Amino acid sequence: MSQVQQALAPTLTTTPSTSLQDLLNFRSLLGFNHRLKTLEANFSEFMQTNQFAEAVSSITGIVDRYINHRMNEAVKVAVEKAQAENEDFLNQLDENIQKIIKEQVKEQESYVIAADLSKLELKKILIEKMKSNKSIHRLDE
């Protein structure tokens, strides 16, 4: 019976397989491994490129904010300067208007004074004439 048991029990032996199918499977396994490594490298490069693209796109936002800030400051400075110049101009204009008004008032005063003097002189002449007429009338009486 021991011989029958030995005959029935298969003996496992490893024999190198050299079939074409086995070689193709091994080759495809190596190809898959290579493709996986290539895919991982491409993905890593994509992530780096994507981070670079994000960094570049954020640069435009940073530059825009910087330019807006600088423009706001430049406009603020320009407005303050224009307001100061406008204030100076208005002060100078006010001074000139005051001078012109004073000159015109002086001219008008001198005309008024001259007219008043003329009236006084005419009144004086009239009074003198009236006095002389009275004295003539007294002499006639």
Q: What is the pLDDT of residues 107-125, one digit of tens each?
A: 888 888 888 888 889 899 9
- What φ, ψ does residue 9 adopt, rounded to 5°? -80, 120
Number of structural domains (the chain) is 1
pTM: 0.40
Q: What is the pLDDT of the chain when averaged over all its residues?
A: 80
Q: How far is Cα 70 from Cα 105, in angstroms, rounded to an integer?
A: 52
What is the maximal distance between C-alpha atoms in the chain? 204
Q: How far is CA 18 from CA 14, 29, 117, 129, in A?
A: 12, 16, 144, 162
The domain in which residue 118 lies consists of: 20-140
pLDDT at position 113 is 84
Residue 24, pLDDT score: 57
Positive or negative, the CA dihedral 91, 94, 96, 98 is negative
Q: What token pair was written down for 83?
A: 């307001």
7 lies in some domain? no
pLDDT above 80 for 22: no
On whether residue 107 sits in a domain, the answer given is yes
Instruction: Pull the structure tokens for residue 35.
Output: 């493709």
Q: Let me know if residue 47 belongs to a domain.
A: yes
What digits encode the pLDDT tens for the residues 26-55? Answer: 556 667 777 878 888 888 887 777 777 787
